Amino acid sequence: MARRRAALPWALPFDQMLGVWARMPVRIAGAATRAQMSKVSEAVSDAVDEHRRPPSGPGDWISGVAMAPSGLRRFQLYRPPGVAFHEKLPLMVMLHGCHQNAKAFAESTRMNALADRERFLVLYPEQDRRANSQGCWNWYETRSGLAQAEAQIVMAAVQQAILLYPVDRERVALAGLSAGASMAALLAMKYPDRFKAVAMHSGVPPGTASSTATALRAMRHGHRPAALPEGTDATRWPPLIVIHGDADRVVSSRNAASTAEFWAEASGARPAAPRRVQRGQRHAMTITDYKLGGRTRASLCEVGSLGHAWSGGSAKHPFSDARGPDASRLVWAFASRQFDTD
């Protein structure tokens, strides 16, 4: 099991409040009512304990809260074992999809196990259900400014991790699934100098929606992003890898090609010949790289027979398909190449 380090001081009151509330004695008259409420209290207590329990692994699962002028969000940070005081490790920022939290995303993607082998830190910002009842990042709410506000909070979490933990600020990448993928792309466009690589898995490109209704249309049908605002320097955007299943019934796979093409064209990159890759009995994938001056600016990975799920993830979790090629390895390999280019 992962060694659980004490939560950061400002995270403690929230956890303690949940624990106390879940264990409060029932004071409602009537034996039947007391028994029913006791069962509810036990169920809530079990849920709180499960939420607190770290994913399995030898490293540290550290709780914290990121604060920005626009609000705050909880996060979890995974630190592999044996990190020396003088070390500076890469950081992978992982943004979960709807109906997920930090722990579920970590277990589904198995990114922590990869972090143990490759020696990097993993940051899992967590959406607040009061901000979105489904746990989705509000990437599409650009007209109201909510999307930009949430991006600011995630950046506060990244900066906090850099300040408090042994992070090499020159080797930071981010990835996301579904709504998390769209938020990851928005972050990369808004803060291009802070990330060396970005990965979108089963997401919708930013600039295709500005409300819930337009987001749903983009998810179902696939839209090309709107023209860039005048003065945007897309050459500063970090390289992008897009992973998407051709059997996705939640987010149309047409979004994948339009995202990669949009990203590539904005920086002047051109597509190379697609190549088909299959390893063992895993789903086959078709990879198209978009290059500029010999360097990959975007990479499109279309996975056959994959639905709306993290490719190669844990079979025990929803939104995860163990039969697909290992997306966590693909993302890390892509990010590592960008780290090595400077």
Residue range of the domain that includes 209:
54-339
Q: What is the token pair recorded at 35?
A: 């028994």
Tell me if 1 is assigned to some domain: no
| Alpha-carbon gap, residue 239 to 229, rounded angstroms | 20
Asked whether residue 43 falls in the same domain as residue 157, the answer is: no
- Whether 46 and 60 map to the same domain: the answer is no
Question: Is pLDDT larger for residue 4 or for residue 220?
Answer: 220
Gap between the Cα atoms of 84 and 295, Å rounded? 33
Burial 12-49 (b: 16+ CB within 10 A, else e): eeeeeebeeebeeeeeeeeeeeeeebeeebeebbeebe
Same domain, 61 and 192: yes
Say if residue 209 is in the same domain as residue 196.
yes
Q: Find the CATH number of the domain harbouring 328.
A: 3.40.50.1820
- Overall domain count for the chain: 2
Q: What is the mean pLDDT of residues 265-286?
A: 95
Predicted confidence (pLDDT) per residue in 126-161, tens digit: 999 999 999 999 999 998 999 999 999 999 999 999
Same domain, 14 and 82: no
**Which residues are paired to 62 by β-bridges?**
77
DSSP state letters, 150-175: HHHHHHHHHHHHHHHS-EEEEEEEEE
Where residue 90 falls among pLDDT bands split at 50, 70, 90? Answer: very high
Average pLDDT over residues 201-228: 87
Give the confidence band of 30 by pLDDT, cuts at 50, 70, 90: very low
Residue 220: phi, psi to the nearest 5? Answer: -80, -35
The partner residues of 288 in beta bridges, in order of sequence, read 300
The pLDDT value given to residue 342: 60
Are residues 26 and 131 both part of a single domain?
no
The confidence score (pLDDT) of residue 217 equals 92
Res 230: pLDDT: 67
139: in domain: yes
Instruction: Please list, in sequence order, all residues whose beta carbon lies within 8 angstroms of the beta carbon of residue 303, skipping any fewer than 6 positions away.
Output: 243, 244, 245, 246, 283, 284, 285, 311, 324, 325
CB atoms near residue 294 (< 10 Å): 5
Other C-beta atoms within 10 Å of 134: how many? 11
Q: Per the domain annotation, does 72 fall within a domain?
A: yes
User: Which amino acid, 135?
Assistant: G
Structure tokens belonging to residue 140: 């599409």
Residue 17: per-residue pLDDT: 38
Average pLDDT for 268-279: 96
Residues 247 and 137 in one domain: yes
Quote the DSSP letter at residue 223.
-
Q: pLDDT-based confidence at 12, cuts 50/70/90?
A: very low
Beta partners for residue 174, in sequence order: 93, 198
Q: What is the dihedral of CA 188, 193, 196, 202, to 10 degrees?
A: 0
Beta bridge pairs of residue 124: 76
Check if the beta carbon of residue 100 is closer than 8 Å to that of residue 51. Answer: no
**What average pLDDT is seen over the chain?**
87
Looking at residue 45, what is its pLDDT?
41
- Local confidence band at 97 (pLDDT 50, 70, 90 cut-offs): very high
pLDDT at 107 over 90: yes
Query: What's the confidence (pLDDT) of residue 16?
Result: 42
At residue 41, the pLDDT reads 44
| DSSP character at residue 192 | G
Q: Is 106 helix (H, G, I), strand (E, B) or coil?
A: helix
User: Are residues 17 and 161 both part of a single domain?
Assistant: no
Whole-model pTM?
Answer: 0.86
Provide the token pair at 315. Answer: 């079979």
